[in-house]
Structure 1
């Protein structure tokens, strides 16, 4: 009985993981197709993006505004080519709205408490980027406080938390700059793992689930046959 429950639980979990990977792959494929469709469009202004009712994820943006060079957020544990560093975020003021800007990646120093020296421009004029809606990872615990200490190291981009720190209202998205700039590495990758890899994982989990079920099925059938032969033998005696 216990072996049956364990096997059924394992098979259900494996099938659930296969289904999850499949849907992840489909979502990635849909996003890649969406990016390809909007990439041919002209860049929009921040003010135009704010008026749209449709999905704005990955839309191209051309931004002009003033930057507060003091309010710098460093998102920790960002890896580029095997080297740890930070994603640099700053607060910009457009014509009608403040917005969070992702300037790109900078390398960290050998000592963790020795933060890199980051210099932001005072203004951006016609800077090109993409609209990115940050996702909240419940597995990440924020270690930063709301004290105005700059630069501020944070664990993930939480718009609500950043609003509380800077005492300003922000839209629920970030402009991730994509054009080149000295001092920052910009390698915008909206889809890190391709859909094909998710599909491969889905096939693997499905195969493991089927294999586990077959092993249990044949083991159970062999047990029933052995019990049946034993019973027949005892009746003949």
Structure 2
């Protein structure tokens, strides 16, 4: 329980640091594609403006995305900009009643001066990919695994994603880099700490009672 409290505390501190980093770049001008590529670190959440051609027929649908209680998908496709392939998140679309009935999306063949944010995808080893490397599109995926996408496309893809932020009638684009605020992690840390302290005192008094009982038993045996 103490370990869980410490883990939640660290998660809260990490979230607070990321929110501070986001605030520091929110009012800055958008970086060009070349400027982002020139940076070797600290590219997470950077605003970016870029242009590129889109592989509009090769659509990836990220599964299990929930918006306002409705299940749906985040729509991804690869853009080629400055001879580099980069995965682009076009936004969220609602799913249909039948799970096998995938939503139809229409992507442009090109983006010009598109505005977005740089996102570094995280790999969850507990998530098992169910998509196959075949020629069927759109392809439903369980997480953003750049290596898997490279295998599917048979091409190199940059290790970050650009999430588009401009309003669009077809997609919902309410970019939320931090879903759970730091305060919630701190509250969980306090709860785990309280449970740990309570468990410690229960153990302490139970052990003391057991030791007293053992001493009394030993004293009676000596008297006999």
- The TM-score with structure 2 as length reference comes to 0.97
Identify the residue that residue 208 of structure 1 maps to in structure 2: 195
1:132 partnered with 2:129 = no
Pick one of 34, 41, 48 that aligns with 1:47. 34
Corresponding residue for residue 177 of structure 1 = 164
Which residue in 2 is equivalent to 1:148?
135
Which residue is equivalent to 1:227? Answer: 214
Separation of aligned partners in 1, 2:82 and 2:136: 27
Partners of 1:82 and 1:170 in 2: CA distance: 32
How many aligned residue pairs are there? 224
Contact 1:47 1:96 in 2 (8 A): no
Aligned equivalents of 2:56, 2:223: Cα separation in 1: 93
CA distance in 2, matches of 1:79, 1:71: 23
Instruction: Trace 1:162-173 onto structure 2 (pairs within 5 A).
Output: 162-173=149-160
How far residue 154 of structure 1 moved from its aligned partner, in angstroms, is: 0.6
C-alpha separation in 1, matches of 2:136 and 2:46: 32
Unaligned runs of 5+ in 2: none
Q: How far apart are the structure 1 equivalents of 2:35 and 2:213?
A: 74
**SS of structure 2 residue aligned to 1:137:** coil
Residue in structure 1 matched with residue 76 of structure 2 by the alignment: 89
Q: CA deviation at 1:96?
A: 2.7
Give the aligned partner of residue 49 of structure 2: 62
Contact 1:89 1:102 (C-alpha < 8 Å) held by counterparts: yes
Cα RMSD over matched residues? 1.1
- In 2: Cα distance, 1:216 partner to 1:69 partner: 62
CA distance in 2, matches of 1:143, 1:54: 32
Instruction: Give the structure 1 partner of residue 67 of structure 2.
Output: 80
Mapped partners of 1:76, 1:231: distance in 2? 66
Q: Select 2:20's aligned residue among 8, 30, 33.
A: 33
Deviation at 1:146, TM superposition (A): 1.1
Distance 2:135 2:49 in 1: 29
8 Å contact 1:148–1:166 — kept in the other structure?
no
| Alignment gaps of 5+ in structure 1 | 1-13
Is this contact kept in 2: 1:84–1:107, CA < 8 A? yes
| Structure 1 counterpart SS, 2:39 | coil
Q: Does 1:98 align with 2:81?
A: no
SS at match of 2:187: helix
Q: Distance in 2 between matches of 1:229 and 1:167?
A: 77
- Report Cα offsets for 1:50-75 as digits up to 9, x if no partner: 11123100000012111121010001
